[in-house]
Structure 1
């Protein structure tokens, strides 16, 4: 035993206490072993409640007031993980069997062989500590899982609530994290001049660190966007802010677009993100041009190019993260851009919530039994006609 082990010896024979302290005197002096002694089961229970940290009970069977077999039944009241080694005469196998059935870890016979007792105590204490370590690890895992569940609820809470449809547009978003919390996010918000801002982004990595970086990035993007900067200026400012304090060298891919519902003008800029797809009334889905900026948080001072496009009534803009196109099936094949374009073409007449549901359903069916490796996030905007 590498650390101090505390053992409670329960025996009504005073000579046994003296014998134990003599035989283990070197271990006691070195601090490897600490012994406590009780004369019967009643005194043992009282001591267990009073003295913390007892690792093991070594108990005789035949004692006054409360015998060792009754004590075995009472030990779980004090500590369900506490174990005992019983001491009995070799010929008393019936009591030894009863003791083992009542949860004794092992037994030693009288007259006690102290070499055998040492091995038995070492093995019993190591077992108990392994069990306790496993339980502590389980409790720690449960605590982490609860914290992750709270983090997931918080992450979902910061996603925007659906905006009511207007005569000029429909808009819906969807996110399904690969873990309890993820690094993807989408956002949409009204700008002071009546235009509509749309953001989709993907933070490097997974788990809590990605979720925290995601929350920071979302806050910065919305703050800068609401100040009035165009999409390119907004990404440049956020990039500088993230790169200035990024010791973990995390990065974000993002696409930010601004729609003027009165004219259909769409201004946008991209930071290393997969280009959104535009689905026209009769055309095959096509990627937005000019989505070639670098990822956010890597290189300060980068100037993102601003692009413009005028949407026609009925056009659908589909923004997504690579968790959609890089979903894999059991044969490790990607869902891919071609399948995504085909799915959007097949469902071009649906409303935005139904478009999202159809795409996610096709991705899920394609993946089958393969585990989800990345967050799946998408955003659909249908431009209807000029208006407010």
Structure 2
């Protein structure tokens, strides 16, 4: 549906642009000198009204020169039998220019069907026969012009789509550049390892993740999911991520709760798009393993304990960001022990569908963590999960962005 709407917008825009091209420049190639006078007389009204502009040549060589001189010629009326360079040779050389919007109508004697057939095989759009019936010629010209305009419209739409694709590719590069990429991100630390990925359903996505050290002993992390998809969601994602980072790395930073409330107030104010962000964010004390967190309506994370058991973090309520600017977020806490793995995700993982319309589901995520040996790094955990998700989805289109953040609280050294 979105692709159809885009096509209609481009088509309307292209049609309006073509309407501005009121003059069609036509090259008439004929060695009969009186043809120039007959054409000018027959189409004098269209010439006067600037609908048509004729350029005249008397053989193929001269016609090629005219094409070089007038690059905006779109329609050629060419006789087949001419001196110096005949119409068929001229037509072959026109085709070498590879201009799909340049169309040729060939003219020849009524009985010259062999040459007319050759001309059509070489790419002529249409033909008329001599003696010329000027009413038929006018109908042929108008029909060809209609086709030329359609070709130009399709070329315009293609150029617009290529430009949009290029813009989307740049947007994807910008979005991916905003996300942490180092793996492991803190190679010199012996207490923490983590890895995350964002697999967008479209070129750009609305999921987000981030993590950074507030100081030597405290790690901030966030995972989120914007309510929409595509470019609007990507823009809202970028704003959300940037605001969080600026607040939590600010010299005026206070505490988790106050900063989340301020970010929510900012995102909610003048939110005319009515987008919202589910998020799970927190701060890990790297000395003690205690985690202070806020659940803003997000999916419940999982914890794989050192002994291989898997726990679900119980939901404690919490409203998505950007809905109520005065919502009173309250912090919760959980405890990680050395050797535990903290696993966060967006609903694109659990809601992934295959061709049989089966959901990947929460249970498969649990089984993925259960099956681990405990020796895998966060990157290895995430890489294997993404491979399983892609295998599960198969040839079905990915329905939603998939984002996973895996944090391993390392063994006490």
Q: TM-score, normalised by structure 1?
A: 0.92
Give the drift of 1:37.
2.0
Show the counterpart of 2:240: 217
SS at structure 1 position matched to 2:215: coil
Q: Within 1, Cα distance between the matches of 2:312 and 2:256?
A: 18
Q: Within 2, Cα distance between the matches of 1:43 and 1:342?
A: 77
SS at structure 1 position matched to 2:279: strand
Q: Within 1, Cα distance between the matches of 2:394 and 2:117?
A: 53
Instruction: Work out whether 1:164 is the aligned partner of 2:183.
Output: no
Instruction: Work out whether 1:183 is the aligned partner of 2:169.
Output: no
In the TM superposition, 1:1-388 aligns within 5 A as 3-76=22-95, 78=97, 80-81=99-100, 82-160=102-180, 161-162=182-183, 163-165=185-187, 166-192=189-215, 194-227=217-250, 228-282=253-307, 284-347=309-372, 349=374, 350-385=376-411
- 2:261–2:329: 8 Å Cα contact kept in structure 1? yes
- 2:95–2:123: 8 Å Cα contact kept in structure 1? no
Q: Within 2, Cα distance between the matches of 1:355 and 1:95?
A: 70
Return closer, same or farther for 1:291/1:89 CA change in 2, 3 Å cut-off: farther
Give the drift of 1:77.
5.1
Give the superposed CA RMSD.
2.3
Q: Which runs of 5+ in 1 are unaligned?
A: none
Per-residue deviation, residues 141-199 of structure 1 (Å, max 9, x unmatched): 23322322222222222211231353222211122111221111211101035301111
Which stretch shows the higher mean deviation, 375-384 or 67-76? 67-76
- 2:341–2:409: 8 Å Cα contact kept in structure 1? yes
Q: Within 1, Cα distance between the matches of 2:25 and 2:213?
A: 66
Give the drift of 1:46.
2.2
Which stretch shows the higher mean deviation, 272-281 or 361-370? 361-370
Give the drift of 1:319.
0.6
Give the drift of 1:18.
2.2
Q: Within 1, Cα distance between the matches of 2:163 and 2:343?
A: 38
Q: Within 1, Cα distance between the matches of 2:288 and 2:77?
A: 86
Per-residue deviation, residues 360-383 of structure 1 (Å, max 9, x unmatched): 233223223322111111011121
How many residues were matched structurally? 387
Q: Within 2, Cα distance between the matches of 1:205 and 1:384?
A: 36
Q: TM-score, normalised by structure 2?
A: 0.87
Give the drift of 1:334.
1.5
